[in-house]
Chains A and B, each alone.
Chain A
Amino acid sequence: MPSGRAAERSKLIQVVCIKQVADTETRVKIAPDGKSLDPVGVTWILNPYDEFAIEQALRVKEQAGGEVIAVSLGPAGVQTALRGVLALGADRAIHVRHDGPALDSLAVARALAEAVKPLAPGLVWFGKQAVDDDAAQVGPMLATLLSMPCVTVVAAFALEGGKATLEREIEGGREVIEVVLPAVLTTDKGLNEPRYASLKGIMAAKKKPIEERPAASGEAALEVVSLSLPPARGAGRIVGEGPAAVPELVRLLREEARVI
């Protein structure tokens, strides 16, 4: 890893790891295997938390120069998401190709680490979690595999020299953390206001390179037994209309539900 003056002279490489997920408006249907989401009719979007990662990487590039490389693991379809990130301003992309059943988080982290390591990035960005499996694991796992420090759920960011100062939400407050680069950061909503792609950006993205490489297959660390729909909540009841219903509501909450 470059350090000191050499680091100042060398350009800052930033990697943004993104994931394509089912739209948050999706009504989940279970696939015939009983273990996965039925993809029929699903609209695929960029994981919402990844938008903040991309935006912050682009802002850092505007400030410090260098290169932004988008990386994503998945089937052919993820190139749509990568092309979208190129339209926003990333310089190039790497598609870690994986077809077939979803890999567990450690397998994904290993495959991404293999693609990311030779890039020698100063910053690696992730969204704080993907809104499909809600695991929130791949960022800190990749950091650990590459022996990089990591700060998760970043809500404020400032870069100065070879260090970044960040804020993250914790229960009942915020932690202010200083991290030494190179580092892995995962982003929370509220970090910034993500930009939209311009027409010029969309046109330029068509000419930017997407390098495809196969995902290294490893052994599974976690195995899905089943995926099912949650038990439906029993239909509730309308206690009444307007403020006149309030005393009865309070009585039910006390005596029937016993929650107050």
Chain B
Amino acid sequence: MSVLVFIEQREGRVRPVTREVLGEATRIAAALGGPVVGVAAAAGDADLAALAEAGAERVLLAQHPRFATYDGEGYAAAVEAAVRVCSPQAVLFAASAMGKDLAPRVAARLGVGQASDCTHVQAGGGALIATRPVYAGKAIQRVRFPKSPALLTLRPKVFAATPKPGARAAVEPLAVDLSGPARERVLRVAAAAGGKVDLTESEIIVSGGRGLKGPENFRLVEELAKSLGATVGASRAVVDAGWRPHHDQVGQTGKTVSPKLYVAVGISGAIQHLAGMSSSRCIVAINKDPEAPIFKVADYGIVGDLFEIVPALTAEVEKLNAHA
């Protein structure tokens, strides 16, 4: 049985998170004993043969003028058409803005279940069991799929890509029947200032909290983030206070993140914040209160005045960068 992967593209380029999904698809397909097939939607010719390097043996390409930008209803029709063509046992998407929007539409079209934001997939005995954090990570749910295919969205930065240098995939046209104009139309895409990487896809995150005392002091967090090549995050308290935009918020009513390094600056560690970041590989906490709950989840902590510690840390990292 095959595993189908939705190939996510923006501006004609395959998004890096798709390589992670193809990597996991390759592992699942090996356990189930079938090929990995990609499905992509594009307005014109798309260079997808190289996706074999990421794990796809075959790519089904649906072409339509509507597909120049994301078109939820049209893309869902394309994925459904691909399911009819290759009868996969599982269909995988990235748990990205696009994948999270698209997968439930496909699930409803097919009348099957979907597991969102999975962090582990067990494939054995012909069946899949998906592991996924719920309550923003305060609990872990395992689910199985009474109907086929199983639909899953995979959390970014959790699954590894498995490169196969030099391999080429067969790209085959996929017929999709779309009647009429798109009812959802992307008019334009506005890029974030400074080409900011989304928190959910960041390797390193430096987050600031109320300990910074005011929005102007986020400069310290931004400088440390810059030295580390990190994305800036924030606690709910400072977002609610209007110091930072909502898309910077880490926690249960913000983003759940799993970077390799998470630095919490002046964040005490409310339960709803801890829920959103405690699956990070390494956590550093800088806080003046040695009793702050954040130290209970931190691998490394420094107690003291962040206004002294953070600039010293930035300088130390910059020194390291200069030697590298």
> A145 — which chain B residues lie within 8 A by C-beta?
108
Question: Residue B98 contacts which of A143, A170, A178 (CB distance < 8 angstroms)?
Answer: A170
Question: Residue B136 contacts which of A134, A136, A221, A249 (CB distance < 8 angstroms)?
Answer: A134
Question: Residue B135 contacts which of A131, A219, A222 (CB distance < 8 angstroms)?
Answer: A131
**Complex: A137 Cα to B320 Cα, angstroms:** 45
Across the interface, do B108 and A144 meet the contact criterion of CB distance under 8 Å? yes
Question: Residue B140 contacts which of A141, A171, A221, A227 (CB distance < 8 angstroms)?
Answer: A227
Across the interface, do B142 and A224 meet the contact criterion of CB distance under 8 Å? yes
Across the interface, do B284 and A249 meet the contact criterion of CB distance under 8 Å? yes
Task: Using A171-B96, A249-B302, A253-B300 as known contacts, say yes or no to A24 and B192 having CB atoms under 8 A apart.
Answer: no
Across the interface, do A24 and B252 meet the contact criterion of CB distance under 8 Å? yes
Across the interface, do A134 and B308 meet the contact criterion of CB distance under 8 Å? no
> A190 — which chain B residues lie within 8 A by C-beta?
245-247
Q: How many residues of B contact A (CB 8 A)?
A: 99
Seen from chain B, the residues whose Cβ lies within 8 Å of a Cβ on chain A are: 10, 15, 69-70, 72-73, 76, 96-98, 100-101, 103-105, 107-109, 111-117, 129, 132-147, 183-192, 195-198, 200-201, 204, 228, 245-247, 249, 252-254, 256, 260-261, 271-272, 278-279, 281-285, 290, 295-305, 308-309, 311-313, 316-317, 320
Find residues 129-163 in chain A having any chain B CB closer than 8 Å to their own CB. Answer: 131-145, 149-153, 155
**Complex: A238 Cα to B112 Cα, angstroms:** 48
Across the interface, do A230 and B105 meet the contact criterion of CB distance under 8 Å? no
CB contacts between A and B, total, < 8 Å: 286
> A167 — which chain B residues lie within 8 A by C-beta?
190
Across the interface, do A243 and B261 meet the contact criterion of CB distance under 8 Å? no
Query: Which of A155, A172, A175 has the most B CB atoms < 10 Å from its CB?
Result: A172
Shortest distance in angstroms between B185's beta carbon and chain A's nearest beta carbon?
5
Closest 5 CB pairs of A and B: A222-B113, A221-B113, A144-B108, A190-B246, A149-B183
Task: Using A227-B134, A239-B302, A245-B302 as known contacts, say yes or no to A150 and B105 having CB atoms under 8 A apart.
Answer: yes
> A138 — which chain B residues lie within 8 A by C-beta?
104
Across the interface, do B189 and A49 meet the contact criterion of CB distance under 8 Å? no
**Complex: A240 Cα to B261 Cα, angstroms:** 19
> A220 — which chain B residues lie within 8 A by C-beta?
113, 146
Stretch at the interface among A8-16, A59-67, A103-111, A116-124: A103-111
Across the interface, do A140 and B101 meet the contact criterion of CB distance under 8 Å? yes
Across the interface, do B313 and A246 meet the contact criterion of CB distance under 8 Å? yes
**Complex: A241 Cα to B295 Cα, angstroms:** 13
Across the interface, do B281 and A259 meet the contact criterion of CB distance under 8 Å? yes
Across the interface, do B201 and A171 meet the contact criterion of CB distance under 8 Å? yes
Seen from chain A, the residues whose Cβ lies within 8 Å of a Cβ on chain B are: 22, 24-28, 30, 37, 48-49, 104-106, 109, 131-145, 149-153, 155, 165, 167-180, 183, 188-190, 219-230, 233, 235-243, 245-247, 249-250, 252-254, 257, 259-260
Task: Using A153-B97, A230-B278, A236-B299 as known contacts, say yes or no to A172 and B196 having CB atoms under 8 A apart.
Answer: yes
> A26 — which chain B residues lie within 8 A by C-beta?
135, 138
Across the interface, do B305 and A176 meet the contact criterion of CB distance under 8 Å? no
Query: Which of B15, B253, B305 has the most A CB atoms < 10 Å from its CB?
Result: B253
Question: Residue B141 contacts which of A177, A227, A239 (CB distance < 8 angstroms)?
Answer: A227
**Complex: A28 Cα to B134 Cα, angstroms:** 10
A146 nearest CB neighbor, chain B only? B108
Across the interface, do A226 and B142 meet the contact criterion of CB distance under 8 Å? yes
Shortest distance in angstroms between A42's beta carbon and chain B's nearest beta carbon?
11
> B245 — which chain A residues lie within 8 A by C-beta?
190
Interface CB pairs A-B, < 8 A, 14: A28-B135, A28-B138, A28-B139, A131-B252, A134-B133, A141-B107, A172-B197, A180-B184, A189-B253, A220-B113, A224-B142, A238-B295, A239-B302, A253-B261
> B184 — which chain A residues lie within 8 A by C-beta?
149-151, 177-180, 183
**Complex: A108 Cα to B117 Cα, angstroms:** 19
> A131 — which chain B residues lie within 8 A by C-beta?
135-136, 252-253
B147 nearest CB neighbor, chain A only? A221
> A179 — which chain B residues lie within 8 A by C-beta?
183-185
Question: Residue B303 contacts which of A22, A183, A238 (CB distance < 8 angstroms)?
Answer: A238
**Complex: A137 Cα to B311 Cα, angstroms:** 43
Across the interface, do B107 and A106 meet the contact criterion of CB distance under 8 Å? yes
Task: Using A144-B76, A230-B133, A236-B299 as known contacts, say yes or no to A173 and B192 having CB atoms under 8 A apart.
Answer: yes
Question: Residue B143 contacts which of A27, A143, A223 (CB distance < 8 angstroms)?
Answer: A223
> B320 — which chain A residues lie within 8 A by C-beta?
250, 254, 260
Shortest distance in angstroms between A179's beta carbon and chain B's nearest beta carbon?
5
Across the interface, do A169 and B247 meet the contact criterion of CB distance under 8 Å? yes
**Complex: A219 Cα to B111 Cα, angstroms:** 10
**Complex: A254 Cα to B321 Cα, angstroms:** 12
Across the interface, do A228 and B140 meet the contact criterion of CB distance under 8 Å? yes
**Complex: A145 Cα to B104 Cα, angstroms:** 11
